[in-house]
């Protein structure tokens, strides 16, 4: 039996881009996804891009019996764990759903891995675990802060669980990847972000205004202490992010214990800069209006990316214009996402 990489949540936005990168670099891939926030079409598209198919198992990461069967039937060398819920607002209304899915799901996965003798894990964490640091850029040596919502706390608590696990048993080799703001789509326009309902995140919102599905963008806050008063974030192209996962996977093959890496570009852009860059790339006008701050938002956030560069030999290569062009290509070729 050939070794495979298990990708939980592999039909989702980031997972599907990672699946493409893994297939293109010759890995065998098994995707476990319950499709609660995605479509299996993303995996058909991954096949169209790469000419290779991942094994797809539709199921829940909290289903222990299913995991045990999966590890018996397949020789899994490592696990990339994307499966989880990520809507910040919903997490405030339904915190237990988030703690159950994100924390309990991760604990069950680690238990199943340990009993199958699989000890290499890459976990999708988030810059949200830093809370609101006083200084920029944010480096991995910063203490984790106080995330402002249950989603963020579920990521921080899962990190803590994984830290305890790595300290308890030297067989574990775990990467915590703290993503900044993933955006963009595959340059083929075949896979991209397909949010359910009205998007919460900036770029999907902007691109739905551009295609005419939404009337105008609301800019949350124009009085932040930033370059133009609007929020500043470190947007990173999802294909750069996917390549970072491949590097992290290689790194944990040689390293034991737990390692933390920021995956960001090291550059911050404001909401107004994002609007302008999108207008330029799409040749469309984005109507927007200024509004009060969104509760829970921080003023600015960008990464110190040098630890990943030094230790993983990885750095984000794609420009803001690439992010915008690829987002617009995906949006205009697939106005209704994966729904035909």
The residue ranges that bind ligand WQD (CB under 6 A) are 86, 88, 126, 128, 152, 181, 200-202, 205, 217-221, 231, 233, 271, 294, 297
- The footprint of ligand NAD on residues 77-136 (CB under 6 A) is 82-86, 101, 105, 124, 126
Q: Which is nearer to ligand NAD, 108 or 229 (CB)?
A: 108
Establish if 56 lies at the interface with ligand NAD (CB under 6 A).
Answer: no
How far apart are CB 126 and ligand NAD at their closest, in Å? Answer: 3
| Cβ-proximal residue to ligand WQD, closest one | 231
Among 5, 7, 11, 109, binds ligand NAD (CB under 6 A): 11
The verdict on whether 179 is a catalytic residue reads no
Q: Which is nearer to ligand NAD, 21 or 34 (CB)?
A: 34
Establish if 158 lies at the interface with ligand NAD (CB under 6 A).
Answer: no
Q: Which of 13, 98, 99, 151 is catalytic?
A: 151
* C-alpha span between 27 and 249 (Å, rounded): 11
How far apart are CB 82 and ligand NAD at their closest, in Å? Answer: 4
Q: Which is nearer to ligand WQD, 34 or 208 (CB)?
A: 208
Q: CB under 5 to 8 A by kind: which of ligand WQD, ligand NAD, none does 52 bind? A: none
Q: Which is nearer to ligand WQD, 63 or 90 (CB)?
A: 90
| Active-site residue set | 151
């Amino acid at each position: 039996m050939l070794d495979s990489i298990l990708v939980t949540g592999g039909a989702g936005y980031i997972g599907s881009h990672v699946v493409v990168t893994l297939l293109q670099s010759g890995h065998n891939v098994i995707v476990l996804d319950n499709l609660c926030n995605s479509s299996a079409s993303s995996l058909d598209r991954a096949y169209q891009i790469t000419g290779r198919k991942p094994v797809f198992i539709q199921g829940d990461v909290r289903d222990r019996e299913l995991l045990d069967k999966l590890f018996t039937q397949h020789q899994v060398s490592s696990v990339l764990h994307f499966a989880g819920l990520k809507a910040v607002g919903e997490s405030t209304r339904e915190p237990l759903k988030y703690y159950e899915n994100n924390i309990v799901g991760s604990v069950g996965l680690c238990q199943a891995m340990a009993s199958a003798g699989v000890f290499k894990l890459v976990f999708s964490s988030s810059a949200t675990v830093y809370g609101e640091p006083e200084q920029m850029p944010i480096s991995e040596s910063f203490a984790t802060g106080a995330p402002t919502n249950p989603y963020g706390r579920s990521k921080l608590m899962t990190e803590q669980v994984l830290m305890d696990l790595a300290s308890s048993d030297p067989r574990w080799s775990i990467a915590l990847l703290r993503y900044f703001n993933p955006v963009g789509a595959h340059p083929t326009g075949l896979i991209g972000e397909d949010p359910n309902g009205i998007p919460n995140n900036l770029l999907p919102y902007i691109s739905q205004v551009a295609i005419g599905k939404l009337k105008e963008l609301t800019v949350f806050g124009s009085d932040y202490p930033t370059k133009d008063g609007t929020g500043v974030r470190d947007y990173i192209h999802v294909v750069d992010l996917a390549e970072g996962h491949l590097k992290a996977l290689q790194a944990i093959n040689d390293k034991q214990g737990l390692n933390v890496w920021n995956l960001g570009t090291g550059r911050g852009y404001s909401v107004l800069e994002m609007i302008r860059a999108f207008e330029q790339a799409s040749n469309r006008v984005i109507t927007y209006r200024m509004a009060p701050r969104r509760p829970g938002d921080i003023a600015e956030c960008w990464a110190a990316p040098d630890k990943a560069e030094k230790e993983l030999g990885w750095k984000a290569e794609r420009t803001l214009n690439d992010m915008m062009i690829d987002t617009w290509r995906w949006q205009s070729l697939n106005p209704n996402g994966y729904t035909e």
